[in-house]
Amino acid sequence: MKKYLYIDDENDDSIESLIRGFNDCNIIKVERLPLERGMDFSKLKDSIIEKINSGEFDGLLIDLRLDGEGPDRLDYSAISMTSELRAITARGDLQSFPIILCSTIEKIKETYNSDKTSHDLFDYTFRKSSTPNFEKFSKKLNSLALGYDFLKEGKSLEDVFGRKDLGLLDSRIFERFHSQKVTVPYDYAHFSIKTLFHCTNPLIKEKVFAARLGVDIEKSGESWVQLRDSLFNEAKYTGIFNNGWDRWWADSVNNIFKDLSEKKLNFLPAEERVDILKQVSKIENLIPATPIRHNVSSEFWTICEGHKKPLDPLEGFKIRTSHDLKPWQESKYLSLDAILERIGIDRGLEPHYSELGRIEEIKKTLK
């Protein structure tokens, strides 16, 4: 079982509850590192290095505001500590390991979101809440630790991403790995999670996958699972961290559908897509998705990030992001209904500034 070292300046019941929440899942083990108020930066750094290099721990779970108001507060933040650890790892004096940021959404908005340079330091962000999904987060942390072990073996690019024909994809996607003279495990981890998993194309999430097939996941139930795991099994991503993040190759999904039907997905309405899938799969209980309120098109290709339901991008509005998209990445969208009802605003989902004029014009027609 993979084991994470946990560092936090707080010392109350919520911390013990968090540790129990992880450990009760029996997927990973979390153990807290005792801190002393005002603990010297070098002393903490050396303690972390010793425990990681000894093999006792596989990763680090660290609170953002070590210099907060906790009883064991320090004079530095998780960002400064993580930056130093990453630098030592790059020099080869410390073995590579995953570092997970752990904090409340309020602290992340206050500090982390305003410092864009710090985003690249952490492999993943665990947001503290009153009811965390410990099983979900445990699986991701376990996947990260296993993935780092795999990367230490010096695998080929094809092995890392579980695909032998990477050359068929846009050459710009993996260009960085061909141009870098030295690539450390963190480079692969950061690229996979921040660039591949969190954006659309070349990999897509299950809800986007289902939207492109025109299927309503909730209403189709087990019929969707049967379709997904039979006809489209070859499109499943099997590369690094696949046991923590379920993804599918977008081009493979398109190609499989075309081979089955001799038609392209792009401009077919949902009902026609589902009718074709029923015919070739003999799965009768597949239910086509329907448009969100205020929309009419069922030529779905993405989802509304607010409702998490299928959406035709032509009827959607691009979302404002904290970073510029790569040329091969697709925008994420909100539906008009999500914007009007302010669904997702608590998750930071807002329309891109370039969409504001169009939204106001459409609002006038609704009135």
**What's the CATH number where 44 sits?**
3.40.50.2300
Q: Is residue 10 part of a domain?
A: yes
Can you give the residue range of the structural domain that contains 183? 157-197
Which range among 62-66, 131-135, 162-166 shows the weakest confidence by mean pLDDT? Answer: 62-66
Q: Which of 109-118, 162-171, 310-319 is predicted least confidently?
A: 109-118
**Do 163 and 132 share a structural domain?**
no
Residue 181 shares a structural domain with residue 132: no
Give me the chain's average pLDDT, please. Answer: 91
- Residue 34: the pLDDT is 87
The secondary structure of residue 6, as a DSSP letter, is E
**End-of-domain residue from the set 197, 228, 258:** 197
pLDDT, position 235: 98
Spatial distance between the Cα atoms of 342 and 350, rounded to a whole number of angstroms: 9
Q: Give the separation between CA 104 and CA 16, rounded to whole angstroms.
A: 16
The CA radius of gyration of the chain, in Å to the nearest whole number, is: 23
Q: Is residue 77 part of a domain?
A: yes
The CA-to-CA distance between both ends of the chain, in Å, stands at: 58
- Domain check: are 115 and 186 in the same one? no
- Mean pLDDT score, 129-139: 90
Average pLDDT (153-159) is 89
**Same domain (yes/no): 190, 81:** no
pLDDT at 115: 58
CB 231 within 8 A of CB 260: yes
Q: Are 275 and 254 in contact (CB under 8 A)?
A: no
| Residue 236 or 109, more confident | 236
Could you read off the pLDDT of 326-354 as tens digits, one per residue?
999 999 999 999 999 999 988 889 999 99
pLDDT given for residue 118 in this prediction: 66
The confidence band for 317, taking pLDDT boundaries of 50, 70 and 90, is very high
pLDDT of 90 reads 87
32 domain-assigned: yes
Same domain membership, residue 164 and residue 111: no
Q: Average pLDDT in the 356-363 region?
A: 94
Same domain, 115 and 85: yes
Residues 180, 131, single domain; the answer is no
The residue among 166, 197, 228 that closes a domain is: 197
Q: Are 163 and 113 within one domain?
A: no
Q: Beginning with the edge strand found earlier in the chain, give each strand of the sheet holding 99-104 in spatial order.
A: 28-32, 2-7, 59-63, 99-104, 124-128
Which of 96-105, 177-186, 223-232 has the least mean pLDDT? 177-186
What pLDDT score does 136 carry? Answer: 95
Residue corresponding to tokens 């492999």: 123
Percentage above 70 pLDDT, the chain: 94
pLDDT band at 227 (very low <50, low <70, confident <90, very high): very high
At 64, is the pLDDT very low, low, confident or very high (cuts 50, 70, 90)? confident
> What local confidence, expressed as pLDDT, does residue 68 receive?
66
248-273, pLDDT tens digit by residue? 999 999 999 999 999 999 889 999 99
Considering its fold, how many domains does the chain have in total? 3
212 within some domain = no
Domain-embedded: residue 121 = yes
Q: Are residues 72 and 130 in the same domain?
A: yes
Domain shared by 313 and 355, yes or no: yes
Instruction: Return the residue matching tokens 């691009």.
Output: 318
Q: What is the pLDDT of residue 281?
A: 96
Q: Are both 169 and 111 inside the same structural domain?
A: no
Residue in the structure block whose two tokens are 């933040």 = 77
Q: At which of 113, 135, 150 does a domain end? A: 150
Residue 128: closest CA among 66, 79, 62, 32: 62
Q: Does residue 180 form part of some domain?
A: yes
Closest CA to 334 of 294, 279, 275: 294
Residue 229, CA distances (Å) to 226, 233, 250, 279 in order: 5, 5, 15, 17
Q: Give the residue ranges of DSSP H helices in the chain.
A: 13-23, 41-53, 78-91, 105-107, 134-151, 157-161, 175-179, 185-190, 206-213, 217-220, 222-230, 250-261, 270-281, 336-340, 356-366
pLDDT recorded at residue 104 = 67
Span 29-37, average pLDDT: 89
Clarify whether residues 50 and 81 are in a common domain.
yes
pTM value is 0.91
Q: Kindly report, residue by residue over 91-108, the tens digit of the pLDDT.
A: 888 999 999 998 765 555
In a domain, 288, yes or no: no
Do 128 and 18 meet the contact criterion of CB atoms below 8 Å apart? yes
